[in-house]
Amino acid sequence: MFFRQKPMTIPSAAEALPGRDQELAIAANHYVNGASLKGPYPEGAETIYFGLGCFWGAERLFWQLPGVLVTAVGYQGGHTPNASYEEVCSGRTGHTESVKVVYDPKVISLEKLLKTFWEEHDPTQGMRQGNDMGTQYRSAIYTTTPEQAEIVEQSRASYQNALRQRGLGPITTQIGEAGPFYYAETYHQQYLAKNPNGYCGLAGTGVSCPIGVGVAAE
């Protein structure tokens, strides 16, 4: 989770580590709220995935929000199936550190989740967050429905305008449809609940994210 020299470009599928067929074994339940990490989830729940640097602190941001049912950390956006943490750290999997967020849209809106996402990290830094360098720390949003994708793009445009007004650069967040999510090892899951004084390197830009047109702020 700390500064180390790593590749700063995503490897091709041919260059990526081969990984494995078997999933990593993880705990069945969320350490904080006891919910099933892999489901089944309540009817009507939706899922979205966020990458915003070191996933230890990123996951805590979301499990604290009312209406978020389950969070989990894993590896996503790359090529290597069922990658280990060490493999992801090598920069040879293409994955970013991702947070799975399962939420009740009747209690918390996607706009509220996105406001947290944009404000709690710097989405203009490319393959890094602060001193955390490498492709695994890139900013990313992976959606699971067309409706989510539309809202995400609207929020990106709104936040880009807000950043520009403050003299900051273009958003580099990778946005796309969610591909496979590979759960990280159990010790990473809800890490900062187990280790309250653990490392968290997240830092936002200080620029507030506008709530989308026609969406009331909670």
Give the closest residue to 67 by CA, choosing from 22, 99, 101, 38: 101
DSSP assignments along 7-48, one per residue: --SPPPTTTS----SSPPP--SB-TTT--BSS-PPPTT-EEE
Angle between helices 110-119 and 146-165 (to 10 degrees): 40
Which strand (E) or helix (H) includes residue 176? strand 174-177
The answer to whether 54 is a known catalytic residue is yes
Catalytic residue among 54, 89, 200, 209: 54
Give the residue numbers marked as catalytic: 54
